[in-house]
Amino acid sequence: MGCGSSMDTQTNPVVTEVSSEMQPRQNGAAGVLNIVEQYVRLDEQISKLEGTCPGPRMATVEAWVEHLKGKHEAMLGLEGMGDAAPLRERQRETEEEVLALPNYTMGRQGDPIVANTPTKDLAQLAYNLGVIADARKASMHEDFFASLSESALHLLSIRYYGELLEHTKVRLKTLVESYAELNELYVRQDGIIAYMSGGTYMTRLEESIDEQLETARDTRDKLGSTLEQWRICGLLLRAAANSSTQALKQWRQLGRMIDPKQKLQWSLDCRSLLHASMISLEAAQLALPHVELKYISHRQVVAVKHCNTYLITDIANKARYEHTSRVFTSYESNMSKTCTWLYETFNNTLRPDFDKAEETVSRLAKTLRDHREEVFSAMRK
């Protein structure tokens, strides 16, 4: 009774301990008044923290972490491997290969292309074979370089999902801490209520309001869980849109360059930025699977992936370069539209529904708080 929560909580033996600790201070009206003030302050703290829905959000992020972990392991080739020792060794070897890749998620500055990686091999081959400046040579070797690109992009996918997983774990840690804080407040408040009421409702009105509050909290918490899903999707779409914009800028600048080495470096950066954008988009769709994202189609994503795979050998061919420019421009424009659409949809639908539910919870919580304060204060008389 009394303290509902943003998730179900178990009865805690600390209640008895809290009650016994209060005993020496309960003598007389002043002691009761002090307890009532503590109850009011705790309830106000609880209401404020509950409004952030740490419990439901935590459950959502926990499920998201497991989903990302499963996908990451599948990409590493670890899915279904039973023996832990070979699994860890295989993971270590694959991750060492992945971590050797330049980090393109933060842009091109400070990320050396020349490193002992598949990207270095591809870059050196492209330069030696002259595919950046010679359309004929590029056409001769396009399938070979496409195969190398696919391998390099697969390693980048592993890296990007690994980074996303680690970032999500940080979010989970924050929510776990908030939820633990909320449960601690529940225990303290339950101790006060149990001491003052003996573990039973003191009035029928108190029982009625508490039941209404529990129902309202349940509605609010379900919306809070969905809110976190939309938050995840929104952040990923924003990242996808930003990466596509950076990639398009580099692609356009690349067309004005003369030096083959500079062209090669910028093309690889552009390829990685576009791949990061598509991985973010893919993850966003996984985070909100029951919502069909507007403006971006599967066909368009396939077209972008194809252009990105053949990007290095398409630079020298003017017609192909212009075609790729149109594909990238359309993708960047639609990514921006999709991102805007998601936030507008969220602000016009889920956000008002959650705010309304939270307003109902806050109103009922205050009504119950005021009523209990009145009943508890009357006890000092």
pLDDT digits (tens, 9 = 90+) for 143-197: 988 888 898 899 999 999 999 999 999 999 999 999 999 999 999 999 999 988 8
Q: In this predicted structure, what is the pLDDT of residue 79?
A: 57
Average pLDDT over residues 243-255: 94
**For residue 216, what are its two tokens?**
């309202």
Angle formed at CA 328 by CA 157 and CA 282, multiple of 5 degrees: 35
Using CA atoms, how far apart are residues 205 and 368, in angstroms rounded to an integer? 9
Q: In this predicted structure, what is the pLDDT of residue 31?
A: 56
Q: In this predicted structure, what is the pLDDT of residue 118?
A: 53
Which of 3-17, 34-48, 119-133, 178-192 has the least mean pLDDT?
3-17
Q: In this predicted structure, what is the pLDDT of residue 121?
A: 67
Average pLDDT over residues 309-337: 94
Is pLDDT at 269 greater than 70 in this prediction?
Answer: yes
Q: How does residue 50 score in pLDDT terms, banded at 50, 70 and 90?
A: very high
Is pLDDT at 86 greater than 80 in this prediction?
Answer: no
Which of 70-79, 151-160, 219-228 has the least mean pLDDT?
70-79
Of 59, 81, 38, 357, residue with least CA distance to 223: 357
What residues have CB less than 8 Å from 72, skipping those under 6 apart? 158, 161, 162, 165
Of 315, 254, 349, 340, residue with least CA distance to 131: 315
Average pLDDT over residues 40-46: 95
Q: In this predicted structure, what is the pLDDT of residue 30?
A: 55
Of 268, 245, 276, residue with least CA distance to 111: 268
Is pLDDT at 21 greater than 90 in this prediction?
Answer: no
Q: In this predicted structure, what is the pLDDT of residue 174?
A: 97
Is pLDDT at 19 greater than 50 in this prediction?
Answer: no
Above pLDDT 90, what percent of the chain? 62
Using CA atoms, how far apart are residues 113 and 133, in angstroms rounded to an integer? 19
Is pLDDT at 117 greater than 80 in this prediction?
Answer: no
Q: In this predicted structure, what is the pLDDT of residue 257?
A: 86
Q: How does residue 114 score in pLDDT terms, banded at 50, 70 and 90?
A: very low
Q: In this predicted structure, what is the pLDDT of residue 131?
A: 82
For the chain, what is the mean pLDDT?
84
Which of 78-87, 171-180, 217-226 has the least mean pLDDT?
78-87
Q: How does residue 8 score in pLDDT terms, banded at 50, 70 and 90?
A: very low
Average pLDDT over residues 122-132: 78
Angle between helices 135-197 and 28-50 (to 10 degrees): 160
Using CA atoms, how far apart are residues 295 and 300, in angstroms rounded to an integer? 10
Q: In this predicted structure, what is the pLDDT of residue 25?
A: 45
Residue 130: how many CB atoms within 10 A of its CB? 14
Q: In this predicted structure, what is the pLDDT of residue 153?
A: 92
5 or 193: which carries more pLDDT confidence? 193
